[in-house]
Amino acid sequence: MHTRTAGASLFTDLEPLLEQVSKPIQYVGGELNSTVKDWDCGGDVTVRWALMYPDAYEVGVPNQGSMILYEVLNERPDVLAERTYAVWPDMEALMRSQGVPQFTVDAHRAVGDFDVLGISFSTELGYTNLLTALDLAGIPLHARDRVDGDTIVIAGGHAAFNPETIADFVDAAIIGDGEEAVLMVSDLIAAWKREGMPGGRHELLLRLAKTGGVYVPAFYEVTYLPDGRIQRIAPTEHGVPWRVSKHTVMDLDEWPYPKQPLVPLAESVHERMSVEIFRGCTRGCRFCQAGMITRPVRERSITGIGEMVEKGLAATGFEEVGLLSLSSADHTEIADITKGLADRYEGTNTGLSLPSTRVDAFNIDLANELTRNGRRSGLTFAPEGGSERIRKVINKMVTEDDLIKTVSAAYGAGWRNVKLYFMCGLPTETDEDVLQIAELAKRVIETGRQVSGRKDIRCTVSIGGFVPKPHTPFQWVGQLSADETDARLEKLRDAIRSDRRLGSSIGFRYHDGKPGIVEGLLSRGDRRVGAVIEQVWRDGGRFDGWSEHFSYDGWMAAAEKAFAASPWPIDVDWYTTREREESEVLPWDVVDSGLDKEWLWQDWLDALDETEVDDCRWTPCFDCGVCPQMNTEIEIGPTGKVLLPLTVLGAGKAGMAEQAHTHA
Amino acid sequence: MARRTPEGPPPPPAVQKLRLRYAKRGRLRFSSTRDFSRALERALRRAGVPMAFSAGFHPHPKISYANAAPTGTASEAEYFEISVTERVDPEALRVALDAALPPDLDVLEVVEAGPGSLAERLEGSVWHLEMRGVTLETLTYAVERFLATELAEVTRTFKTGPKTFDVRSAVVSMVATESDDPSCAILQMVVRHTTPSVRPDDILTALRAVTELSPPVPPLVTRLAQGPLLTATAGVADPLAADKEAVGS
């Protein structure tokens, strides 16, 4: 047994290992704006969170959600939060051989010493990394094996909207926006500690479950029909709700986080700071889980955005600001925001970027403001579907003419490369729908050559397999198999390459169908899939989001083994390519995202009819159910305010000037 | 086809060049050169240093780095140069930049650049190795054996493949001394900068080959100084001395 005191630094044990691993900087912490607090900062009732992003540091450190919760929690005097990430296999092997447990990067404390391990799942492909972290932390893998004193494992993030797949491994899941929820949970834990921890772990979890906003899988019994479908998911404890509600933060201006974004020394996947300009999206793309589960739209005000950019840049020194949201050009005041920011940062080499821009919301003025002070990068649009017909099915209301008009404006204004994102395997899709992508790309090149008068313009087609997600109108559909996806992608590639005149100007990038099947299994899985995750992990599965680590064959072999041991006729196809009926109980029915299941079904029928649904921001409500169910409403501008000029950067310059100092 | 040029006026010209010495300490010894340059560029922006930028579509701040210590080694003597568009007070810049960098990356000295190249003055380094788990006796024996050899070849893998080179000729001096901890002897040496550069771990590899010296844990390596070689005293001089004199005159 360890004689280590709780909360003590493991750095001395870790240091020799750092000499032997790749990119050791990712394990040392000390980033600008990171926080280390006293282990007993709140006395006996200190609530301690280890926050994990279950991927490599370089992916996890810029994650907005984790950064927000880290700061929100640390602002509370009696709460401390530290960060931990998935360690690479070279480090894992050394930690195992030297007995070093999973640690936080901030103060190198053992994760098992914390009250809560909060783990944020943006994607299901991080599940095996959760198991590695639990095992390295010395926390029992299965929630049912944990006892009083063991860390409470709470999942969050978009993937937690179907918490059943990981029900074996997590004690609880928080659904929806985390800012207020983590403080609520902290209060509840502090109160329970203050009372002397009555009833131990069970009582604490029960209190959490009774709030109605925290899902505790152990308090639900799942029964099955002989054919494997779920018969019922029912609470087993008095006072535990049948369905758990998502959390919604209504006023983004009240939550201007992160105020002090982390600045890692190591290279990360986003070398910029980000300001979330609105949350939610009501465009209604039927494939898009994020758009469905984050309703309604809540805008941050133009002045709130200006202030966050100003403070964030001063706190970080980043040279690029990402204006983040699900569809950034849709902000009611986007033109004033981009112009106002470009004016403010004129001459400072500070770039702006809009990571998600719809074809129909884009215009050249906007693009010019974005590149005025920074570097001109490529333009990316996501028509998602190749044919007009399939775009109606998925409710991506963008016409081919919209797209051609937009890209010709871009080429005309001097852009040389336009990237187009698509999906393959959408419901009702045929080869023709996908082959239409080639025609579209050729038209883009032809138009581009015409308007620019040049031959060296390019267009890149990027395409991946569609994965049906919970809480969307496509939650019932059969996923296209990996083989069929690959066959379709191959036909598309041939159609592009075979064009001698235009083909060489079109780049083609694709993701094969195999990872999508595993993602599909995990997305629409139930608690029986936990055995598969565990088997894969025991066989060495790690970092499934990384193609060099992902093993499709490993997953299939593990699934075969795990499902063979189950009493039901279930397999990977049953979870992925099988179409569900309206009446089927879905594992994620226990989560109330606000969306009315009947509305989702109706929207699915509309998809089959190729009927489009407009955006409720500018057309009447179409009764998706979220606002009345969650007692929320659309929060959008315009506010009519503008960004005033500001001496924004180089505030320290005056103090540094030579004439300000007397020389001897 | 006409070459495209960026719109707008050219960037303001550089009016002053500064040379800086910084230390890389504690856990930040694990930062790489690239990690440092990222941190530095952001710190310069936060501090409001009036940096000069290169022209073109992708303007870069004018910074040049000299001979950085390898990832994993600490240093008291790392150098780089920056150019600014408005004259600044070197000490005020030092204070502001130091405050803007993370703790353990500490700006120690800033001087206005005089004539001559800084990189050329960095002829050698003084290295200090805490040999944890190695007694003075063991280390002394290894040092004697190493110094007695005429050639000590090691092989290291570079981007272009494995390369074998002599490290003995680069070692100007090598001394074993004791520390407060009897189980941790100190290896101090002056190493000439050569191509390929001989790093402390190359010398440790050579020591292992000569005497089977094999520390149970990797030693803590610190570069104490780098500069013009002083052969007589087996040390290095201050590479910024010429700049300081130029300003003083």
Q: Residue B3: inside a domain, yes or no?
A: no
What CATH number does residue B214 fall under?
Answer: 3.30.70
- Claim to verify: residue B79 and residue B143 sit in the same structural domain: no
Q: In the structure encoding, which two tokens stand for residue A114, read together? A: 């914390």
B184 reaches A (C-beta below 8 A): no
- Claim to verify: residue B98 and residue B165 sit in the same structural domain: no
A16 reaches B (C-beta below 8 A): yes
Structure confidence at residue A1 (pLDDT): 45
- Claim to verify: residue B228 and residue B125 sit in the same structural domain: yes
For residue B31, the chain A residues in CB contact (below 8 A) are 25, 265
Residue B180 CB contacts under 8 Å (≥ 6 apart), including other chains: none
What CATH number does residue B35 fall under?
Answer: 3.30.70.580
Beta-carbon pairs below 8 A across chains A and B: 109
* Domain boundary residue, one of B83, B113, B143: B113
- Claim to verify: residue B145 and residue B98 sit in the same structural domain: no
Structure confidence at residue A429 (pLDDT): 97
Least Cα distance to A568 among A605, A528, A512 occurs for A528
Q: Residue B92 and residue A18: Cβ atoms within 8 Å?
A: no
Structure confidence at residue A662 (pLDDT): 59
- Residue B173: CB atoms within 10 A of its CB come to 15
**Per-residue DSSP letter, A295:** -
Q: B96 CA to chain A: closest CA distance, Å?
A: 8
Find the length of chain B: 249
In the block, residue with structure tokens 């039901």: A568
- Claim to verify: residue B216 and residue B138 sit in the same structural domain: yes
- HEC sequence for A450-482: HHHCCCCCEEEEEEEECCCCCCCCCCCCCCCCH
Q: In the structure encoding, which two tokens stand for residue B89, read together? A: 């007070």
Q: Residue A652 and residue B102: Cβ atoms within 8 Å?
A: no
In order of A315, B129, B202, the CA distances from B184 in angstroms are 41, 10, 20
End-to-end CA distance of chain A: 64
ipTM of this complex prediction, to 2 decimal places = 0.88
The answer, yes or no, to whether residue B6 has pLDDT greater than 70, is no
B59 reaches A (C-beta below 8 A): yes
Q: Residue A30 and residue B103: Cβ atoms within 8 Å?
A: yes
A648 reaches B (C-beta below 8 A): no
Angle between helical axes of A11-18 and A89-98 (0-180°, round to 10): 130
Q: Residue B93 and residue A656: Cβ atoms within 8 Å?
A: yes
Nearest neighbour of A656 by CB, restricted to B71, B89, B104: B89
What span, in angstroms and rounded, lies between the C-alpha atoms of A488 and B138? 68
Bigger pLDDT: A654 vs A166: A166
Nearest neighbour of B35 by CB, restricted to A15, A25, A314: A25
A1 reaches B (C-beta below 8 A): no
User: A526 in helix, strand or coil?
Assistant: coil
Instruction: Kindly state the helix (H) or strand (E) to which residue A127 belongs, with its residue range.
Output: helix A127-137
Q: Residue B248: inside a domain, yes or no?
A: no
pLDDT (mean) for A83-112 = 98
Span A156-184, pLDDT tens digits: 999 999 999 999 999 999 999 999 999 99
Least Cα distance to A384 among A376, A372, A373, A392 occurs for A392
CB B5 within 8 A of CB B11: no
Q: Residue B42 and residue A316: Cβ atoms within 8 Å?
A: yes
The boundaries of the domain holding residue B105 are: 16-113
**Per-residue DSSP letter, A219:** G
- Claim to verify: residue B142 and residue B107 sit in the same structural domain: no
- Claim to verify: residue B38 and residue B131 sit in the same structural domain: no
Side chain identity at residue A102, one-letter code: Q
- Which range has the worst mean pLDDT, A450-464, A522-536, A646-660, B153-167? A646-660
pLDDT (mean) for A525-552 = 97
Domains of chain A with bracketed CATH:
11-242 (3.40.50.280), 250-373+594-664 (3.30.750.210)
Q: Residue B245: inside a domain, yes or no?
A: no
Span B30-56, pLDDT tens digits: 999 999 999 999 999 999 999 999 987
User: A353 in helix, strand or coil?
Assistant: strand
- Which range has the worst mean pLDDT, A353-362, A504-513, A607-616? A353-362
pLDDT band at A537 (very low <50, low <70, confident <90, very high): very high
Best residue of B30, B93, B221 to probe chain A, by most A CBs closer than 10 Å: B30
The answer, yes or no, to whether residue A89 has pLDDT greater than 50, is yes
Q: Residue B9: inside a domain, yes or no?
A: no
For residue A28, the chain B residues in CB contact (below 8 A) are 27-28, 30
* Domain boundary residue, one of B82, B113, B144: B113
- Claim to verify: residue B102 and residue B155 sit in the same structural domain: no
Best residue of A20, A656, A659 to probe chain B, by most B CBs closer than 10 Å: A656
- Claim to verify: residue B22 and residue B98 sit in the same structural domain: yes
Q: Residue B104: inside a domain, yes or no?
A: yes
Q: Residue A265 and residue B218: Cβ atoms within 8 Å?
A: no
- Claim to verify: residue B95 and residue B167 sit in the same structural domain: no
User: A233 in helix, strand or coil?
Assistant: strand
Per the structure, the count of domains in chain B is 2
Nearest neighbour of B102 by CB, restricted to A18, A31, A319: A31
Q: Residue B242: inside a domain, yes or no?
A: no
- HEC sequence for chain B: CCCCCCCCCCCCCCCEEEEEEEEECHHHHHCCHHHHHHHHHHHHHHHCCCECECCCCCCCECEEEECCCCCCCEEEEEEEEEEECCCECHHHHHHHHHHHCCCCEEEEEEEECCCCCHHHHCCEEEEEEEEECECHHHHHHHHHHHHHCCCCEEEEEECCEEEEEECHHHEEEEEEECCCCCCEEEEEEEEECCCCCCCHHHHHHHHHHHHCCCCCCCCEEEEEEEECEECCCCEECCCCHHHHHHHHC
- Claim to verify: residue B169 and residue B77 sit in the same structural domain: no
pLDDT (mean) for A459-479 = 97
Q: Residue A316 and residue B104: Cβ atoms within 8 Å?
A: no
- Which range has the worst mean pLDDT, A82-91, A524-533, B60-69? B60-69
For residue B129, the chain A residues in CB contact (below 8 A) are none
Percent of chain B with pLDDT over 90: 83
Query: Distance between alpha carbon B227 and the CA centroid of its chain, in Å?
Result: 10
B48 reaches A (C-beta below 8 A): yes
Span B15-37, pLDDT tens digits: 999 999 999 999 999 999 999 99
For residue B38, the chain A residues in CB contact (below 8 A) are 265, 267, 271
Structure confidence at residue B247 (pLDDT): 75
Nearest CA in chain A to B91: A656
Structure confidence at residue A443 (pLDDT): 95
User: A85 in helix, strand or coil?
Assistant: strand
Q: Residue B4: inside a domain, yes or no?
A: no
Structure confidence at residue A647 (pLDDT): 65
What span, in angstroms and rounded, lies between the C-alpha atoms of A271 and B75? 27
Q: Residue B39: inside a domain, yes or no?
A: yes
* Domain boundary residue, one of B97, B113, B129: B113
- Claim to verify: residue B150 and residue B63 sit in the same structural domain: no
The answer, yes or no, to whether residue B215 has pLDDT greater than 50, is yes
Best residue of A17, A21, A25, A27 to probe chain B, by most B CBs closer than 10 Å: A25
Least Cα distance to B86 among A647, A654, A349 occurs for A654
A484 HSE (CA, 13 A, CB side): 14
DSSP, residue by residue, A605-634: HHHHTT-----TTTS-----SHHHHHT---
What span, in angstroms and rounded, lies between the C-alpha atoms of A369 and A413? 13
Least Cα distance to B223 among B206, B239, B242, B245 occurs for B239
Structure confidence at residue A358 (pLDDT): 82
The answer, yes or no, to whether residue A592 has pLDDT greater than 90, is yes
Q: What phi and psi values does residue A272 have, to the nearest 5 degrees?
A: -160, 170
